[in-house]
Amino acid sequence: MERILSGIKPTGELTLGNYIGALRHFKDFQNRGDVYIFIADLHALTMPIEAETLRNNSRDIAAFYLASGLDPKRCTIFLQHTVPAHAELNAILQNYLYMGELKRMTQFKDKCSKMNDNQIGLGIFAYPVLMAADILLYDATIVPVGEDQVQHVEITRDLVHRFNSRYGEVLVLPRAEVTKVGARIMSLCDPSKKMSKSDPKGDIFLKDPLSVSRKKIMSAVTDSGSEVRFDPAAKPGISNLLTIYAALKDITPQEAEKRFAKFRYGDFKKAVAEAVEEELGPFKARYEKIIADRSYISVLRDGAKKASLVAAKTLRRVQKAVGLLSVDE
């Protein structure tokens, strides 16, 4: 049986990119294996964030998880910090990844390119170590991610090979699974940049009123010419909108292109806005109900207990392998 693990960092308000690249697929994982979905709150601390913002974002993600169709009876939903084994395994694994490889991580380079060494926390540098701990604690075989996180799953795989060749088959080798359509939704203002919650220009937020997301789509940057064609290099703006539409309708961007071949930009944008409204309308309604009744709190509490049992077993296996003396028996 597959073990599937995924999570979202509560670094900002969730975007349509997070929805298309991650949230939208979560419920289907429940038909494919044993699912662990967490709120990566320790990861969110790797860049400056206000305490109240972090708390609110974490609540929102919990409610969005439930609104996405995740069923706490069929999966485990939890906050990362409520399972101490994440930090404990991190303390061990940090000795098996090296400065040279961490320095080469694209996320680290992107996030820290404009900072000097006295502004860069150790956490953002060592981010892949904690992410490896997140994955390995649950013996995850599949890690669904957007394109940007594939590199971190790859470094986790390197770590597993390194660790297991020294200590035997202790850690389970995970593999990244990238969303087929929509693994990298771009900003509506600048389609050369990813739509990111920590860089809100050109984002559609899941909490935006539908009229606001419609306006944002209608004023999205397009390309010269008037043809609706899927060509990310020559027509990045239109291609991004085609990708959004295709992802929401479960078709390919090429099929979407055919559907809109005779459309003008304005009518095409209207159709994309409608597709977003149709999908996000009911989703947002479910979120509003969950955030109001606070049902997510008990889900997170139960999730922490369930996740801790599994994580503690893996941690013990690793501690034993590296030679940490047990006093349990």
- Active-site positions? 111, 194, 197
Element counts in the chain: helices (H) and strands (E): 15, 5
Query: Cβ distance 44 to 275 under 8 Å?
Result: no
Nearest CB to ligand AQP, comparing residues 18 and 308: 18
Residue type, 100: G
| Cα–Cα distance, 7 to 154 (Å, whole number) | 17
What is the closest distance, in whole angstroms, from the C-beta atom of residue 306 to ligand AQP in the complex?
Answer: 21
Residue 27 sits at φ, ψ, to 5 deg, of -65, -30
Nearest CB to ligand AQP, comparing residues 20 and 133: 20
Residue type, 140: A
What is the closest distance, in whole angstroms, from the C-beta atom of residue 9 to ligand AQP in the complex?
Answer: 4
What is the closest distance, in whole angstroms, from the C-beta atom of residue 174 to ligand AQP in the complex?
Answer: 14
Site residues (vs ligand AQP, CB under 6 A): 8-9, 11-12, 15, 17-18, 20-22, 40, 145-146, 148-149, 182-185, 194-198
Residue 77 sits at φ, ψ, to 5 deg, of -115, 130
Nearest CB to ligand AQP, comparing residues 47 and 318: 47
Nearest CB to ligand AQP, comparing residues 23 and 315: 23
Residue 233 sits at φ, ψ, to 5 deg, of -75, -50
Q: Cβ contacts of residue 236 below 8 Å, gap of 6+?
A: 186, 191, 192, 223
| Cα–Cα distance, 16 to 8 (Å, whole number) | 13
Nearest residue to the partner ligand AQP, using Cβ: 21
DSSP-derived 3-state class of residue 281: helix
What is the closest distance, in whole angstroms, from the C-beta atom of residue 327 to ligand AQP in the complex?
Answer: 37
